[in-house]
Structure 1
Amino acid sequence: MVRARDDLCISVPSFFKCPISLDVMKSPVSLCTGVTYDRSSIQRWLDAGNNTCPATMQLLHTKDFIPNRTLQSLIQIWSDSLLRHPTPSEPLPSPDQVLRTVFDFKSDSDSLRFGSLSKLLLFAKDSLQNKLFLAKLEGFVNQLVRFLHNVDVGVTAGTSVEFLEQVVIVLGLILDSIEDREGLKNSMLKGKKQSLDSLLLVLQRGSLESKIASARVLQFVAVDAEAKISIAEKESVVAELLKSAAPEKDAALIEAALASLVAISAPKRNKLKLVNLGAVKAMTRLLTEANLGAAAVEKVLKIVETASSTREGRSEICEEATAACVAAVLSKVLKVSSAATEHAVTTLWSLCYLFRDRKAQEAVTQNNGLTKILLLMQSNCAPHVRQMCTDLLKIFLANSKSCLSCYDTKTTHIMPF
C-alpha cells in the first residue's frame, strides 16, 4: 500500500514493487535471471559483493542488467492515474480477496453477487496482469457465461439489467486474455442461446460501456461460420448493432458495433440478412453524416463491399432512394487509407464491371468517378487494385466513346510526363 492524501491508502500492484525494498520501482531493471528490481536497490546488493539473484538465489553469470522499459511505462501510467483519481471509492482487492469474491458467486443473494462483480470489475480494470489472472482462474469465465444463460430476459427491474451489465463488462475486459476462444463460443452459443438474449438486453438498455462490451463479446465469439450464423439468426441482435452504428451514437460504440457486424457478415445468408435489415442505408448515413476515424470508415466500406456481393445488396446500393451510396463510396477513394480505398474500389468493380449494373455506372460517371479511377491508377496502389481500375476504365470506354468528356484533359498533374 502507498499513502495518498490524508489517511487514504492505495493498493499497489505487486509486480510494481521492488523485491528488495518493497517500494514502487522508480527505475526497474532486469537481471539475467529475468527478475526485475529497482536499479538503486539491486546496485547496492551487487556493490556489497553478492553474486546471486536476491529473489531466486541463482548464481549470476553476469552482473549486467537491462532497463525494463515496458514495466517503467506501466508504472508511469499507473502513477498518472493516481494523480487524476487520488481518492478511489474503494481499495483494490488483492488476488486472495478476488478468490474469496469469486466464491461469493455461489451465493443465492443477488446483492452479494452484484457486489462481488463490482469488486472484480475494479480489479480487472487495474492492469493487464489482473485481466490475465481472472481469465486463467479456473471456472471463472464459465461462471460468467452461466450468468448470461440464467438471467430472465423478460425482467424490467433496473437491478437485473445492471447485474447483466457488470457481467458483460467484466467479460469484455478479459476477452483478449482468454486462450480458449473456441470453448467460450461453444458455451455461449449452445442450446437455446440464452446468452444472446442477455447481450441483446444489454445492447438495448445498457450503459455506453456495457453496450461496447456486448458488441466486443459478439465479435469475439464469431470465430467460425457456425458461430456467425448462430448470432445472425437472432435478428434482433443484428438490428440492434445497426442501431448502435448510427451517426448520432458515440464513436467508440459505432466502431465496436461495426467490428461486430464485419465479424458476422461473411456467410451468404448473413449478407442477405444485413441487407434486409437496412445495412446499406445505415452505412450510407455513416459515410455521409458521421465524422469517422480511418478504422471505422474501413469497416463501413467493408460492409458495403459485402452487400455488393449479393443481388439484393446491389439493388439497394443502386436504388434511387440510396443513390447517395455510390457517391459516398467514391468520396472515400484515396482519402482515408489503402484498406478503405481497396474496399471502395472492390465495391465499384463488383457493381460496374462484374455485374454491369447500369445505374451504378451512371452514378460513377455523374460523381466524377472516372477522374478518381485515373488518379488511382497512377498512384502507388496495390496491383490488384490497379487491375480493378483498369477493368472499370474498359467498361466506361466500351459504353461510350465520349465517356472521357467529363474529364478535364487540362489537368496535367496526373499525366505520366
Structure 2
Amino acid sequence: MVRDDLYITIPSFFRCPISLDVMKSPVSLCTGVTYDRSSIQRWLDNGNNTCPATMQVLHSKEVVPNHTLQRLIQIWSDSVRHRRVDSANTPPHPVPSQDQVLELIKNADRHNPDAFFDSLPKIVCFARESDGNRKFLARTDGFVPTLVYFLGNAGDKASGDQYFLEQVVGVLEMICKEIEDHEQFSNSTVKSDRDCLASLVLILQQGSMESRIGSAKLLESIAIDAESKLIIAEKSGLLPELLKLIGPEKDPTLVEAGLLCLIALSVPRRVKVKLVQLGAVKLLTKSLSEPNAAVSMTEKVLKLLEMLSSVKEGRKEICDDGKCVEGIVQKVLKVSGTATEHAVTILWSVCYLFRDKGAQEAVTKANGLTKILLLMQSNSSPSVRQMSADLLKIFRPNSKTFISCYDTKTTHIMPC
C-alpha cells in the first residue's frame, strides 16, 4: 500500500503531551514522561506540582534532557524535509472527478480493505474540494456504511492502521452534516455491535491534532439523543480524553472542538456528575484565568460550567473553589452578552438556589455586587435582570455598603 505523499503521519511519541506539537527540546520528569521544555516549564511556573499526563505528585521538579528522543526527532524531521523537496518537484495529484470517485468506491468496498486503503487519500482530496463534493459522497449509496464498517472493525489489517483510521474519521467528519438519515448514521456508529467508539477513543489518544479535532466533531454530531449521549460518555476512556483536549495549553481549535463535544454530551445528569468527578470544574477554572482567551472560547467554558452547576455535585465543586467563582464574576459584563448570561446563571445557581456562603463571600470579594447592580441598569435580557434581582435579595441584608441603600425599582445607582 502506498500512502499519499501529501499526508505525513507524526509519530505520537514525538508530540508533547501538553501542546501536541512536535517537541523541539524534549525533557523528562521524574515520572518518566517526556514533554517539550517550554510547555512543561510553563506548567511548573504556574505553581503546579503534578505530572500533567499522569497527575502524579512530583517529588522533584528537575527536568532531564532526553537526548535519544531529540536525535530521533531530528532524523525524522530531516526525512520529512527531503520528502517535501521531492514532492515539490513533482506535479500535485489532481482532484478526481465524480465518475472517478464512484469507480474508486465501487472497486474499494469492505470486502477489499487494501483497495479501500489506497483509494481513501484520493477520496479525502475530493471531499476537501467543495461542499458539493461532500454532499455527493454523503449521498452515494453504500459509501457511509462502508466507512462506518471500517471505523468499527479496527482489529483487521487495514482498519487497524492508525493512519487509515484517521483518514476514515476525517472523511466522516467532513460529510456527516450532509447525511440525510442522520438518526440511522448515529445508530450505526453508537448503538450497533461494531465498536466505532473504541476507534474514536484511539484517535483521541494517539492521533494527529487534526484527527483529534475530527473525532471530537464526529462525536458531537452523533450524540443526537439522551441514549446516544450516555452510550458515548460511558465508553471507557472517552471523557478523560475529551477533557485532555480542553487544557489551557492546547491549540484553540482543538479546545473549541473538545468543549463543543462535551457540551453536547453533558445533557444527561449522569454525564455531568461524571465530568465533575473527573475534575472538569478545576480544568475549566484554569481556562477562565487565561488572559487572552477568545470570546467564543470563554463563552463555551462558561456554558459548560453552567451545565455542571445544574447538579449538586457541580455546584459543590464550584463553591469549594473560590478561584472559580472569582473567575466567573470577572467575566460578567466583560466578554459578551452570551458570556454574561452564562456567568450570571452560574452565580444565581450557587448563591441564590444553593445558598452557599463561601460562594457568596467570593462574589463579594470579587466586587460582584457592583456588577450585579450594573446588570440591573443594563440592556440585558429579562432573565438576566431577574436573576440579578434575586441575587440582590441575597446580598442586601448582609451588606453594610451602598448596596443597602439601593432600591431595585430604580433605574440608576443611588449614593447613600
TM-score, normalization by structure 2: 0.73
| Residues 1:401 and 1:221: Cα distance change in structure 2 (over 3 Å) | same
Alignment pair present for 1:225 and 2:226? yes
CA contact (8 A) 1:199 1:214 kept: yes
| Residues 1:185 and 1:243: Cα distance change in structure 2 (over 3 Å) | same
1:416 Cα deviation after fit = 7.7
| Residues 1:388 and 1:87: Cα distance change in structure 2 (over 3 Å) | farther
The residue correspondences of 1:255-404 to structure 2 (distance < 5 A) are: 255-289=256-290, 291-319=292-320, 322-398=321-397, 400-402=398-400, 404=402
SS of the counterpart of 1:89? coil
| Residues 1:254 and 1:88: Cα distance change in structure 2 (over 3 Å) | farther
SS of the counterpart of 1:381? coil
2:123 partner letter: L
1:178 Cα deviation after fit = 1.4
Aligned length: 324
1:263 partner letter: A
Q: Which residue of 2 aligns with 1:216?
A: 217
Rounded to whole Å, the distance in 1 between the matches of 2:95 and 2:244 is 36
Alignment pair present for 1:103 and 2:102? no
**Cα deviations across residues 247-290 of structure 1 (Å, max 9, x unaligned)?**
11111111011000000101111110111111101111111136
1:114 Cα deviation after fit = 2.1
SS of the counterpart of 1:150? coil
CA contact (8 A) 1:132 1:174 kept: yes
Rounded to whole Å, the distance in 2 between the matches of 1:191 and 1:296 is 34
Q: Which residue of 2 aligns with 1:130?
A: 133
SS of the counterpart of 1:289? coil
Q: Which residue of 2 aligns with 1:139?
A: 142
Shifted more, 139-148 versus 186-195: the winner is 186-195
SS of the counterpart of 2:332? coil
Alignment partner for residue 89 of structure 1, among 92, 101, 104?
Answer: 92
1:133 Cα deviation after fit = 0.3
CA contact (8 A) 2:273 2:314 kept: yes
**Cα deviations across residues 177-213 of structure 1 (Å, max 9, x unaligned)?**
1121111111011244511101111111111111111
| Residues 1:158 and 1:287: Cα distance change in structure 2 (over 3 Å) | farther
CA contact (8 A) 2:216 2:261 kept: yes
Rounded to whole Å, the distance in 2 between the matches of 1:393 and 1:147 is 57
Q: Name which one, 1 or 2, has greater alpha-carbon Rg.
A: 1
Unaligned ranges ≥5, structure 1: 1-84
**Cα deviations across residues 43-70 of structure 1 (Å, max 9, x unaligned)?**
xxxxxxxxxxxxxxxxxxxxxxxxxxxx
1:133 partner letter: F
SS of the counterpart of 2:237? helix
| Residues 1:150 and 1:264: Cα distance change in structure 2 (over 3 Å) | same
| Residues 1:87 and 1:260: Cα distance change in structure 2 (over 3 Å) | farther
SS of the counterpart of 1:187? helix
1:323 partner letter: G
| Residues 1:133 and 1:349: Cα distance change in structure 2 (over 3 Å) | same
Q: Which residue of 2 aligns with 1:179?
A: 180
1:107 Cα deviation after fit = 6.6
1:113 Cα deviation after fit = 2.2
1:164 partner letter: L
TM-score, normalization by structure 1: 0.73
1:401 Cα deviation after fit = 4.0
CA contact (8 A) 2:173 2:214 kept: yes
| Residues 1:372 and 1:93: Cα distance change in structure 2 (over 3 Å) | same
1:111 Cα deviation after fit = 4.4
Rounded to whole Å, the distance in 2 between the matches of 1:107 and 1:184 is 17
| Residues 1:331 and 1:258: Cα distance change in structure 2 (over 3 Å) | same
Rounded to whole Å, the distance in 2 between the matches of 1:212 and 1:313 is 26
1:103 partner letter: K
SS of the counterpart of 1:91? coil
